[in-house]
A and B are shown apart, each in its own frame.
Chain A
Amino acid sequence: MFSCKDVTRLVSESMDHSLPLGKRIGVRVHLLMCKFCARYERQLIVIREAVRHLAATVEKPGETLSEEAKERIRKSLRNP
């Protein structure tokens, strides 16, 4: 039987590669019975999704290069 500590590790690992069948079944069975670990898994998925949305924000206006940096880069492009 896996402990909650094991399951949190394996839940994370399963987001990076597919677990061997035995472990996969062990984790699923644990998640059916353990409210906290099931919640943990859902929250890791929320974080993964949130990071995707965060990555998409670079397309929108937001932080900008400082004027000094822009000037420095323009200069370096004039005399590369």
Chain B
Amino acid sequence: MTDAWVGIRAELKAPQQTPHNITALTLTRHVQAGASERVALRWRPRSGPTVTYTYGDLDRAVSRFASGLIQEDIVEGHTVAILAGRIPELLVAFLGTLRAGAVATVLFSSFGPEPVLRRLQRGGVNLLVTTPRLYRDKVAPIRDQLPNLRRVLVVDGPGRLAALSAQSDPPEGTEDFGAWLARGAPVFPDVDVEAEDPALLHFTSGTTGEPKGVVHVHDSVLAHAYTGKRVLGLDAGTRYWCTADPGWVTGISYGILAPLARGATLFIDEEEFDAERWWQNLEAERVEVLYTAPTALRLLRRMHAAGVTGGPLPFLRGIFSVGEPLAHADAQWGREAFGIPVRDTWWQTETGCIVVATCWDEEPKDGAVGRAVPPFEVACLHGTEERKVVAGPGEPGELCIGTPWPSMFRTYLGNPALYARSFLGTWYMSGDVASLDADGWVSFVGRRGDVFKSAGHLISPAEVEDAMLQHPGVADVGVWGRHDPVAGTLVEAHVVPAAGHEPGDDLARDILGFARAKLGPALAPRTIQFRTHLPRTPSGKIVRKDLGNPQP
């Protein structure tokens, strides 16, 4: 670890005996410093008034959850998964798992049963927190394929962290989350973990159909805390809204960990995107810092042009974007509509924290995401597999990051060989192609390998194809991105129909419906093109980039 990270560690060090647990920095530190009454979370349910939870409220509920895990002997080496929408119980289960020393993984609630099964299996998940509806739709049908899954807790009627009695008849094979909390202890210490103990498991798309399980350790929170301040400008009490779902890494690193480590007040809206509601949120919550994505900005821009807007936002001082490079037109619109610049950031599930950014105190540069956030060191490498050299200013190459840093991933679960291949000497190779100018500003060109981004999320065509091939009408299928003015890129399937299946609207509808039911809206294709054959290499591999509408 470089000297710079050592200094950052000293600055953030928790004042008690068990300094390494993520919850020591995100909760215990504040409670011990007398900030129990500071607001940690403002949660707006789909309907009804916004609810306030203090650091003390969160800390007690997290203790109750953690003590329950210990009683069940779900401890270090075990994994807890959460499959839920944006509800307070998600934070409680996530942080409670960390406090107990087990590994936490959050699955996107828009995944269908297939991606859910693959991730629960791959993670060897022992306990699952979900909702009755998600359980019925996505877990009950696959439960018999999950031998490690001991218990399922369901949240019925979210938001009542203090009302702890059982609220409902949970589905067969599950227990009520509230009853679980009621049995727990409201004060429970952070389990004394090592800095290098696994804490977080994130799934990201790989070039094969199997999702990659990216493992981060407890020490990673140093990087979240540091970049939360250095890049986003978060301080104690900052009113902050990260619009990302916790099913994606941004919703964890910057939706939960960075703001809590800084003692900020985070806002979470359970509802999906709704332009009018977003303006209301920004105004009513007096949001100071917003972290969002280009897709959301494009939707806001579109509705803004039609007159959907809000009152003045005198408190808003920072807007940041992540997921895909910010287009010039969207950045310009943001500056006009909000009166402040939109600043871009770049990082990956593997990096765990922001690496390249235009920080809160920097003026954005057109066409560039930003520069390496000190103490990060980045370079673009190009050349042959055998011999790589640092690209000159303006020359494209693979963006590489000098190792190590606290939130650098520590392995791909069950695939150490792939992990080893991600490094070249002391460099981590990101797989993203970029160029650096003479002043260190980074511009992105594209991505190596057979993956692409839709609405800011990495998609593995192979995972989508695997599910589609199960439809009897599909003889062959290749999946790739198709340009779309709002999403940037949509998932599109190129299908060779099976004998006896007539290509046309009926078959398209049937296949799309089938894929949607298996994969959910996050992964399922939105359009189908029928083809007589797919472009393939001599060895039989689909040339996805020749499927039309290539990525910019």
A binds B: no
* Residues in chain A within 8 A of chain B (CB atoms): none
* Residues in chain B within 8 A of chain A (CB atoms): none
